[in-house]
Amino acid sequence: MSSEPTVGLFVPLPAKEGKKDDLKNFLLKGRELIDNEPLTLQWYALEYTGDAYASAPTFAIFDTFAAMEGLTAHKEGAVAAALGQNASSLLSGGPNIQVAEILASLVRKGEGKVGLRVLATAKADKVSEVEKFLKGAVPLVEAEPLTVQWFTFKLAGTNTFGIIDFFEGDEGRNAHLKGKVAEALFAKADEFFESTPEVVLVNVVASRVL
């Protein structure tokens, strides 16, 4: 069976007021359940950081699968069931479960502890060019030894593209932000996107990477 991710789920999780710690603990427990899902290739629980999220804590789950079979099994599994049961008590909205079409990825050994989440909506006449550009960015990522995992995707049914990537520490993340991928992306931003790509720094709460 292929171990290359082709599809994933991106699920933002805005915490209800006063429930930040409870939501984080829920995600830590969810990590234990993922070991029972052999078709889930990569699973990450993320916490958004920065001033914008100090008063509105936000988490997210990002996970990947080799095929729709794995995604379907995950959506019918214990983690999804637990999220459904606890959403009303832990979340201020949602969860907004979005299918991600994985365009390209790089998965190296290493524990991602910090990361980036980038989202941008392509102009209607630039969708195919953005997709080609992101697929072609793999060699630039391969040249970054401190980038341990990197995924680029398109949210199904939209013109929104994303990048989620992980590093063992701030050194790797800072190097990536100053590197050729970021430089190339922002050089094309005005041409490709409806607005400037939104970059959010994240901490990894828990993960499982096959």
Report the amino acid identity of residue 42: Q
Q: What is the pLDDT of residue 184?
A: 95
Q: Is 180 left (phi over 0), alpha (psi -120 to 50) or beta?
A: alpha
- Is 1 a residue whose pLDDT tops 50? no
Largest CA-CA distance found in the chain, in angstroms, rounded: 44
Domain count of the fold of the chain: 1
Whether residue 2 is contained in a domain is answered as no
d(CA 105, CA 102): 7
Q: How far apart are CA 29 and CA 14, in angstroms?
A: 18
Question: Does residue 1 lie within any of the structural domains?
Answer: no
Residue 95: half-sphere exposure toward Cβ, Cα within 13 Å: 26
Q: What is the pLDDT of residues 152-174, one digit of tens each?
A: 999 999 999 999 999 999 999 99
Q: What is the mean pLDDT of residues 139-155?
A: 97
Q: What CATH code is carried by the domain that includes residue 204? A: 3.30.70.100
Whether 79 maps to a domain, the answer reads yes
Any idea what DSSP says for residue 134? H
What is the chain's mean pLDDT, rounded? 96
Range of the structural domain that residue 126 is part of: 7-209
2 pLDDT higher than 80? no
